[in-house]
Structure 1
Amino acid sequence: MLKALIFDVDGTLAETEDLHRQAFNRAFAELGLPWHWDEALYADLLTVMGGKERLAHYIDTQHAPEAKALRGLSPEIHARKTVAYGALVAEIGLPLRPGIARLIAEARAAGIRLAVATTTSRPNVDRLLAANFPPDAAPFDVIAAGDEAKRKKPAPDVFLLALAGLNVAASEAVAFEDSAAGISSARAAGLPVLATRSRYTDSHRLDGAFSAVSDLGEPDRPHRHIAGVAWPGGVVDLAGLIRWHETLDGQSTPVQAIGTNR
């Protein structure tokens, strides 16, 4: 029986990644650092999961001679970046990706529990939710954020935290992800994964997802099917997810190998 849906945040709930990139650049400028992360560089840095870890990787690989001193500055850089991200969300807005609000509403109406499992920090999650849901009406029962997990994705820790908070088994839930590392994380926790491509993961392999689509789709804006399970009308809805989940019938999750089809 399907009891819960668990969502990644960055690139899955919303196209947040470029705001994170811009926020890092604002933090660099505030501190007088002559650094600028363009889109191509940031796409490469996204292979490192977690903003703090991404910054440390950049320092170690691009500024090795002064890495020790710069590491000491990292907490202030990241703190300023978090503030800058919140300001950007307030200035620009950050809408949910197609189909997300619809599926969340369907799940809430049906009594399906909802969770977030993300490598981003809790303040970033809170800002996204505040921008898209009324005060005190955020729909998630559990938010498992990056700072709470011992290991970042692709380790399963954050999804295991979400499952524990929901008090459901992995066989009773479906995860939603947009990246190869995220899919690996969810699968390592025993979860079946529905993958959507995002701006910065368009070239990622999606091995391990049972279905891959451009987004969840809306009745008037159907998604593009990529591979695996197809959804009638180009829309991933709760009824379709329940029907798919019922086909598992207690057996091992059938997992499609999904490559770089576009």
Structure 2
Amino acid sequence: MKKSVTKAPLTTSSSRFTPNKKFHRALLKPMASTTFSLSLSTLASSTAYNSGNHIPTISCKSNEKSSLCLSSSSFLGSRLNVSRRTSSANPMSMRNVRIACSASVLLSALLFDCDGVLVDTEKDGHRISFNDTFKEKELGVTWDVDLYGELLKIGGGKERMTAYFNKTGWPEKAPSDEEERKQFIASLHKLKTELFMALIEKKLLPLRPGVAKLIDQALEKGVKVAVCSTSNEKAVTAIVSFLLGPERAEKIQIFAGDVVPRKKPDPAIYTLAASTLGVDPSSCVVVEDSTIGLAAAKAAGMKCIVTKSSYTAEEDFLNADAVFDCIGDPPEERFDLAFCGSLLQKQYVS
């Protein structure tokens, strides 16, 4: 029979606590050795959020003979470790219980993809800049909307052009030597980046709804914020600086372009971000807009929220932790920082 306790007197400043009688009786049950590790965060969904007291109830798994349920507002932002060892011959006493609590912020970092997440840049930003580059270099190449949508399955602009030319044939002006072709692609991408940055500096492409709001919430709560993108670092920096403003930009770390040798869906860029920021991947939430970005985030061991963009609306996001059309600003807000934090709860209940 399951026992439950509410409001057990627990504090985060000490590794000891005094259980009430009800809690004591719940533990006086024979069972095999069991270890629990729990971390709780503020709940934010409409079905699991008490706006008055913010009191979560978490049930932890045990063997079929018994289970332990804990509920207390004092658990918020804390990690609770419970170890207990008993045998059927020796009923459990409080000497067998070790409980350690440490105050911790569950959500350590909020990581954003850039294109399609911060700004819906692909169709009327990057694609236009690629086409202007091809036109200026007289390559006789044009990427229409549908073709570019297919090319977006390849992470990275240089990689995208290389794959396209390998499939359709290289322009006459392109060199035949493989190393020289790499330099040729690099020069095209440099020009494309300059043209794209000009669009951003003119603020012709706006931030997506809710982006600034969510970043402000994270920075206010001390949550680290970074942008992790396969796009050129200068282009990403321009978006962050010109559209989010210098005050936010100086607090946001950027990981972009060739900072890692393997692009998304490889998790390298998210793994690097977590390592550099000094946070555990399991305490990070990523906001992505594509299946390759989702795959990279999940492979890095992170939670991932998808905000669909114009090119990714029909993609399969089955593995995402949540999917929305955008982040959204009030009164059309879809989610906030508290919701991001709530996604981390379940992984700590074992």
TM-score (structure 1 length as normaliser): 0.85
Q: Does 1:27 align with 2:126?
A: no
Distance 1:140 1:95 in 2: 20
Give 1:121 deviation, angstroms: 1.2
Taking a change above 3 Å as real, the CA distance of residues 140 and 175 of structure 1, as seen in their structure-2 partners, is: farther
How far the C-alpha of 1:73 sits from its partner, in A, is: 2.6
What pairs with 1:100-139 in structure 2 (closer than 5 Å)?
A: 100-135=211-246, 137-138=248-249
- Using a 3 Å threshold, how does the CA distance of structure 1 residues 65 and 124 change in structure 2: closer, same or farther? closer
- Does the 8 Å contact 2:212/2:244 carry over to 1? no
User: How is 1:186-205 mapped onto 2 (pairs within 5 angstroms)?
Assistant: 186-205=297-316
Q: In structure 2, which of residues 192, 197, 208 is the aligned counterpart of residue 97 of structure 1? A: 208
Partners of 1:65 and 1:103 lie apart in 2 by 44
Aligned residues: 239
* Aligned residues of 2:193 and 2:235 also touching (Cα < 8 A): yes
Identity %: 37
How far off is 1:139 after superposition?
Answer: 5.4
Runs of 5+ in structure 2 lacking a partner?
1-105
Match of 2:160 among 54, 62, 67: 54
CA distance in 2 between counterparts of 1:195 and 1:90 reads: 27
State the shift of 1:136 in Å.
5.2
User: Is 1:8 equivalent to 2:113 in the alignment?
Assistant: yes
1:249 corresponds to which residue? 348
Instruction: Determine whether 1:238 maps to 2:337.
Output: yes
Q: Does the CA contact (< 8 Å) of 2:197 and 2:235 recur in 1? A: yes
The CA distance in 2 between the partners of 1:141 and 1:135, in whole Å, is 10
Matched, 1:152 2:263: yes
Q: Hey, what's the Cα distance between the residues in 2 that align with 1:61 and 1:242?
A: 44
Deviation of the 1:133 alpha carbon: 2.8
Q: Deviations over 1:139-168 (max 9, x none)?
A: 544211121111111111000111011110
Q: CA deviation at 1:126?
A: 1.0
The worse-fitting range, judged by mean Cα deviation, of 138-147 and 40-49 is 138-147
Q: Equivalents in 2 of 1:197, 1:141: separation in Å? A: 23
Q: Distance in 2 between matches of 1:135 and 1:100?
A: 15
The TM-score, its normalising length taken from structure 2, stands at 0.65
Aligned-partner residue type, residue 248 of structure 1: Q
Work out the CA distance in 1 between the residues paired with 2:244 and 2:131: 28
Residues 143 and 186 from structure 1, CA distance in 2 versus in 1: closer, same or farther, beyond 3 angstroms?
same
Gaps in structure 1 of 5+ consecutive residues: 223-234, 252-262
CA separation in 1, counterparts of 2:246 and 2:253? Answer: 17
1:80 corresponds to: 191
Matched, 1:45 2:156: no
Q: Which structure's residues are more often strand, by fraction?
A: 2
State the structure with more CA Rg: 2
Provide the secondary structure at the position in 1 that maps to 2:287: strand
Assess if the C-alpha contact under 8 Å between 1:93 and 1:131 holds in 2. no
Tell me, in whole angstroms, the C-alpha distance in 1 between the residues paired with 2:312 and 2:175.
Answer: 31
Mapped partners of 1:33, 1:165: distance in 2: 40
Q: Which has the higher helix share?
A: 1
2:316 maps to amino acid: R
SS in 1 for 2:202: helix
Aligned-residue offset at 1:214: 0.4
Whether the 8 Å contact between 2:286 and 2:303 is mirrored in structure 1 is yes
Q: What is the Cα-based RMSD across aligned positions, in Å?
A: 1.8
Which of 136, 142, 157 is the matching residue for 1:36? 142
